[in-house]
Amino acid sequence: MSTYTGTAFIRNFEALTNHDKNIVGGKNASLGEMIRTRKAEAVRVPGGFATTSDACWRFIDHNNIGERLRDQLDRLAANTLSPEGTGGNIRKLFKDGEFPEEIATAIR
């Protein structure tokens, strides 16, 4: 398991390992693993952080978009909306949302 660095909403890349996929997703966990394991080889990767799945769920709850997300996915499953339309609509839900203050503070 990684050394905990961050909050419930963010984790620093250098603290992530492949064991953190369920917390920050596979790409972020792999990036953290690469930063950590390749440091001695002087592989230069910009520092940064990943937002956690807790942050994502809190964002969804804060913006009351859960039901609209389910509706979009149901329409996709029923073939009444294209994958492109579904993706665009879901992106707009996230784009139009606002970060809860505790997540915005953690990111800043």
Q: How confident is the model over 8-54, as pLDDT tens digits?
A: 899 999 899 999 999 999 999 999 988 888 777 777 777 789 999 99
Distances 108 to 35, 38, 48 between C-alpha atoms, Å: 22, 27, 12
Report the alpha-carbon distance of residue 2 to residue 6 in Å, rounded: 11
- Comparison of pLDDT for 73 and 3, the residue scoring more: 73
Q: What would you measure as the largest C-alpha separation in the chain, in angstroms?
A: 52
- Would you state the structure tokens that stand for residue 48, as one six-digit string? 């940064």
Domain boundaries, the chain: 1-56, 63-102
